[in-house]
Every structure is written in C-alpha cells, then in structure tokens.
Structure 1
Amino acid sequence: MTETGIHYLDARGPDGMRLYAIGDVHGRHDLLAAMHRHIESELEYAPGSDWRIIHLGDYVDRGPDSRSVIDFLIETRKRDPRNIMLAGNHDIGMLEFLAEAEPDGLFVNYGGVQTAQSYGVDLLGDAHWYGKAQAIARGHMALVKAVPHSHIDFLQSLTLSATFGDFFFCHAGIRPGVPLDRQNQQDLIWIRDAFHDHPGLFSKVIVHGHTPVPEAEVKANRVNVDTLAWKSGTLSALAVNGGDKRILAMQGKAF
C-alpha cells in the first residue's frame, strides 16, 4: 500500500448508506445506550437511507457493566442485523479465560475482575486464603456457571473486520504491506506501532480503536475512535454519509 491509496478527505461511504463506527465500550452500557439513542434520532430524519452501525470490539473488561453491554448488543443485533459487532482482544480474552483459568492472562490482569463482578462473581475474593492461582480457579468455575450460553455464543460469533465503501473497519489496525483480505487475526485485534507509524495511504481508510487517545484521532490513512470510555466517560464514533464525515461523542461520568 503506497500513496496511491485513499486519503481520508477523499473517502466516501456507499451511496445511500449511512455508516457509524463506535469505539471501545469496555463495560460502559450507559454510554453505548446513549450513542445508540443519538444514532437512532439521526436516522429518524433520514428515512430513505440504508445504514450500518459497526461496533469495533472490546465490549468487556475494566468498566462496570460488561454483562449489560453484551445483553444490549445481543438484543440490538437480533432486532436489526445491520448492527455489526467486531471482535476486540478483550472479547477474545474473555472467551479464552472461560475455556481455561489462566491466572496471569489478559482477562485477569486487565479488567476481567470488573467483568466478573458484573456477573455477580468475585474473581479474587478468596485470594487472601488460598493464594491467587487457587482463588482464580475457584472464581473461574463460578464465572463459567454465571455467564449465559447466549453470551458465549455472542462472543464466538464476532467477526474480525468489515468493509463498506472506502472504509475498512477492525479493532486494532492492519499490517502495512499485507492485502486487507489477507490480514492476520492477531494483527487485527492487537497491532499498534507498525500500523500507527506507517506514513503511507492504504487501499481503504482504516477505522479502528484499541489504542486510547484523548479525543478521536483522524489521520490521512486511519481514524482511531477509542477515547478510553470506561475511564474518561467519553464514547466516540465516526459517522459517514457519502463524503461527509463527522466524529460523534457521548459524554457521561468519568472514573
């Protein structure tokens, strides 16, 4: 991918289709619901338009209400499949923890305790009696029982990317020099520096989250809408209508 790619200023969504790409939620059900209410109010005034709402992953961990976020997303997609949910590394990490109680993995060390609490499970509650590893083994069993099968099915159903018009959507980013349809799963949910530091244009503008920024970051070749919602109280999204592109931001309580 070189300078022959598409520049953000020139990028367009599909004719007649509005796009909304929502950044990392991390348990902030309040902000996600507010964003959807705002988008729904916009769509009410555009009755002739088709639309897609793309969620860029990391629905769980760190924030206070991961369970409600998943419930919300399940119902939202059931109501209209034009709501698209992509996988983030934290979503995959939750699945991996449910399959195996890794005491020093992503889930335990980076917000899984809060996720477990949203299901009524104290993941580390017995650590002072049994030690961390045994406490997590006990917490793991309790969490496996507490997480509904529908939530596991939802996490397993998440796709890694989506493409509409001149935009490619994924959680973390892409590996420069690799065609978009041949990207590695680990890169799509984990990559940072090699992607962020790439100066050239890509065949499509990459819309992503994963790496927190104080406010949505718009570059020539990419847009980052991860504004640390769980802590900052700001959930951001990119809105695209033809050649018109805007950043939306829902504000709530900061922690």
Structure 2
Amino acid sequence: MTAEPASPPAVVEEEVRHRTKRRIDGQLVYAIGDIHGRYDLLIKLLERIAQDSKRHQLVGRRPLLIFCGDYVDRGPDSARVLSTIAWMRAGNAFETRCLKGNHEQMMLTYIEQPPAAAGWLRVGGAETLASYGVTAPAWDAPPEDHYRARDQLLDAMSARHLRLLQTLETLLLIGDYAFAHAGVRPGVSLHRQLERDLLWIRDDFLNARRGFKKMIVHGHSWDSDEPFFGANRIGVDTGAYRTGVLTAARIMDGETGYLQAHGPEGPDAYEPGHGDH
C-alpha cells in the first residue's frame, strides 16, 4: 500500500484522553468510523494510528483495528478503500476486524437483486460503481440495465473485495465494550440483537437513557466533525464524506481517546446536522 508522507497528529493527545473504569481485556483497540469512499483520509488516519500504536504498544499483543462499517458509497474511492481494508486484514501489524454497515448491505443486495435494490444508486451506490469504472444506470432504469451494471461490477471487482463484503461481522463484544455499525436495540440482550438494528438503528438507540451493560462503540450517525463520548456510547462517525474528517477512537483499559485525519475541506464546507442514511 502506498502511503502519503507522515503527518503530525491531528489533535494534541492530552485534549482527547478520557479516564474510565471500563476495561477491554488488556488490548489496545482503534475503532474507525464511517469512511464512505474517502481513501485519502483513510491513508492519513492509518499512518497516525501506526505512529500512535508505537507509543501505546502492549508487550506481546498486536493492536486491534476495528473498522465500524460504511466503507463504500458517497465518496470517490470506494474500490481503493476496500483494497486497503482487505490488505490490512491480511497483514500482520494489526489484528483487524471488519463490521458490516448498512451501505455494504445495500451493495450486497444490489449484487444479488439489482432491480429490487436500485435505490442504492441514490444514496452513494452510483459513486461506488464509478470507482470500479462502471457507469451507473438511472435508479428507475429498466431491470436489464441494472443487471448489466451488476455484471460489469462483478467483472471489475476482485474476488478479494467480494469475499471481504461477504464475511463482514455485525457485532463484536470485547471486555466492557460492544462494537456495532449503527448501535443496538434498547431493552434487547446483546446476544439477541437483530441484524437490521445493528446496521440501521438510529433514534431509538441514540436517545436511550438507560445503559446497555457494555459501552457501545458505533458509527452510522453524526452531527459534528467531533466524535461523541457519552455515558453509554461512543460515536465515531464524523461525516468524513462531507466534513473531510475521519475519526478513530483509541480504547485501552481505563482510558479512551481519539485520533483524526483531516482533508482539504474547511469548516464551512458542510452544514452541521446531517446524519447518514
């Protein structure tokens, strides 16, 4: 993987450290928020994580890298993002786990049933097809146009990419933490969560007042270019495709914090309050 020159940390470490009584089985964990085709930000953030992990490395244990889903759509380089994640998963520097986001689910559904899932093209799927060199049909085009686009996508997509998409996880439980793309359904045991909630839930989870027994680390919803650290959840989606800010939470026994990569967008390049769908 070709990386850009190393950059200084985006934020001062002392400003982003949070003490906690929670533990994560003695591991050093980095949880990356929604990438949405922003390969440029992903490469910068991975460099910063590599630098940061050297300062916090635990003897005898590889750092754990958790991708929280929504790798594709909206941004320009979904294909390169998937190549990078597949490369990381096959490498040795980090243990790597990859969660499924709702956008990966929409992409897989389009591959399986193109006409029925044509709405994917309206929420970023057209950009993903373009990253593979495929011209997207109109979302309301005849079925044969969608089958043709799907076949062109499969011709252009490596088997490694498809295998990655087909083997994504939906929920990870580590120590006092749980990782899911969108969140969890309040009042339902973590072991009985439905995949649809793990990929799509929003207000019922975000507005929950009660705890979930574990700290939930998630992406999917954002209203700021800063991550959210609350009493029962950590939100790591910072709207990278629109804000130009990609975030990773750093989680250790007794401490959480975050790292960010910034793109060329300025503070006025987006309007706060935009969630993802």
TM-score (norm 2): 0.82
Say if 1:171 and 1:181 are closer, same or farther in 2 by CA, change over 3 A: same
Distance of 1:46 and 1:198 partners within structure 2:
33
Residue 257 of structure 2, aligned match among 231, 242, 246: 246
Give the equivalent residue in structure 1 for 2:129: 116
Q: Is 1:76–2:88 an aligned residue pair?
A: yes
Residue 210 of structure 2, aligned match among 193, 196, 200: 200
Counterpart contact for 2:28–2:56, Cα < 8 Å: no
Q: Is 1:225–2:236 an aligned residue pair?
A: yes
Q: Is 1:13–2:53 an aligned residue pair?
A: no
Distance of 2:142 and 2:238 partners within structure 1:
32
Higher helix residue share: 1
Gaps in structure 2 of 5+ consecutive residues: 1-18, 270-277
Distance of 2:43 and 2:229 partners within structure 1:
24
Distance of 1:132 and 1:32 partners within structure 2:
36
Instruction: Out of 79-88 and 97-106, give the one that drifted further.
Output: 97-106
Say if 1:106 and 1:147 are closer, same or farther in 2 by CA, change over 3 A: same
Q: Deviations over 1:186-232 (max 9, x none)?
A: 11001111111110111100000011221211111101111110111
Give the equivalent residue in structure 2 for 1:181: 191
Distance of 1:247 and 1:45 partners within structure 2:
14
Shift of 1:237: 1.4
Residue 157 of structure 1, aligned match among 150, 161, 167: 167
Gaps in structure 1 of 5+ consecutive residues: 1-7
Secondary structure of 2:52's counterpart equals: helix
Distance of 1:11 and 1:47 partners within structure 2:
19
Give the equivalent residue in structure 2 for 1:236: 247
Q: Deviations over 1:32-75 (max 9, x none)?
A: 11111111112223443432111100000001100001100111
Secondary structure of 2:28's counterpart equals: strand
For residue 264 of structure 2, what is the amino acid of its counterpart?
K
Matched residue pairs, number? 243
Counterpart contact for 1:205–1:223, Cα < 8 Å: yes
Distance of 1:247 and 1:186 partners within structure 2:
28
Say if 1:47 and 1:199 are closer, same or farther in 2 by CA, change over 3 A: closer
Shift of 1:104: 5.6
For residue 116 of structure 1, what is the amino acid of its counterpart?
L
Counterpart contact for 1:232–1:253, Cα < 8 Å: no
Secondary structure of 2:49's counterpart equals: helix
Give the equivalent residue in structure 1 for 2:99: 86
Counterpart contact for 1:234–1:249, Cα < 8 Å: yes
TM-score (norm 1): 0.89
Secondary structure of 1:10's counterpart equals: coil
Distance of 2:72 and 2:244 partners within structure 1:
15
Q: Is 1:22–2:32 an aligned residue pair?
A: yes
For residue 90 of structure 2, what is the amino acid of its counterpart?
K
Residue 191 of structure 1, aligned match among 201, 205, 221: 201
Superposition CA RMSD, Å: 1.9
Give the equivalent residue in structure 2 for 1:96: 109
Secondary structure of 2:45's counterpart equals: helix
Say if 1:131 and 1:191 are closer, same or farther in 2 by CA, change over 3 A: closer
Shift of 1:91: 0.6
Secondary structure of 2:165's counterpart equals: helix
Say if 1:48 and 1:239 are closer, same or farther in 2 by CA, change over 3 A: closer
Distance of 1:119 and 1:28 partners within structure 2:
15
For residue 112 of structure 2, what is the amino acid of its counterpart?
A
Distance of 2:185 and 2:177 partners within structure 1:
16
Identity of aligned residues (%): 36
Q: Is 1:53–2:65 an aligned residue pair?
A: yes
